[in-house]
Structures are given as structure tokens and as C-alpha cells.
Amino acid sequence: MEDSKTTLTNIDQKPKEMIRVSISEAARLFGVNSQTIRRAISAQEITYVIVAGRYKVNFESLVKWSQHHTTVKNKLANKGIGQFVEKWKIKNPLYSPNPKSITKQPTEEKITTKLD
């Protein structure tokens, strides 16, 4: 009986979509040299697959790897995709989420009636 519950639970969960990038894309995104990515691959610090003779690096493992190495983390912020974060911030109040404008879900209230 437990097996059927486990199977149903697994069916209900959507599989996580895996994002893979090439070595050159990873280097550009993280602001490092492609050789740095290759060294991380050879040191087995990031996961990858080989598709048609080319390395495809798992993006999630890249992010975890970059957060464990201070120099890579700093390069990500200064030379990589992190340098654009300030430009992406929404400054126009018409388009930024205002806590007052967000509608809250009504909470369920218990209604009790008294019968005489």
C-alpha cells in the first residue's frame, strides 16, 4: 500500500527542468575565463554532460560552485551577469510591486449559527 502512495506522490511532483549551458556561455555569465570552468569540470566541482562532443554544464551546479569560491563570486558580481542587477531593478512605482496594491487572500472564517 505504501508503494502506491509513493508512486502517486512522485507523479504529482513535476520534474525539475534542468538548464545546461556551454562552457563559453558559463564563462560569460559568471565573468570568468573558460579555462576556469574547464578546471572546475576536471576537478569534478560542477556536473556536466557531453552532447554531440561538447560539454554542457548544469547551471544549478555552476551557481553552487560559484558561491563556494570567493573570487568567482566577486567576478560574477563585477564582470558577470551580476553587474546588470542594478539596471534590472524596477524604479518606476507604477510597475514595482507595492505592498498596499497586493491583494491578500481572504482568510477563511468559521461561521457558526446557533439553532434554538
Please report, for the chain, the start and end positions of each structural domain, with discontinuous segments joined by +. 17-88
82: pLDDT strictly greater than 70: yes
Within 10 angstroms of residue 95's Cβ, the number of other Cβ atoms is: 8
Would you call 78 exposed, middle or buried from its count of C-beta atoms within 10 A (0-12, 13-18, 19+)?
Answer: exposed
Q: Work out the average pLDDT over 38-52.
A: 94
Q: Work out the average pLDDT over 27-51.
A: 93
Query: Between the CA of residue 13 and those of 7, 8, 18, 46, 76, what are the distances in Å?
Result: 10, 9, 15, 26, 32
* 28/25 Cα distance (integer angstroms): 5
63: pLDDT strictly greater than 70: yes
For the chain, percent of residues with pLDDT exceeding 90: 36
Kindly state the DSSP code that residue 110 receives in the 8-state scheme: -
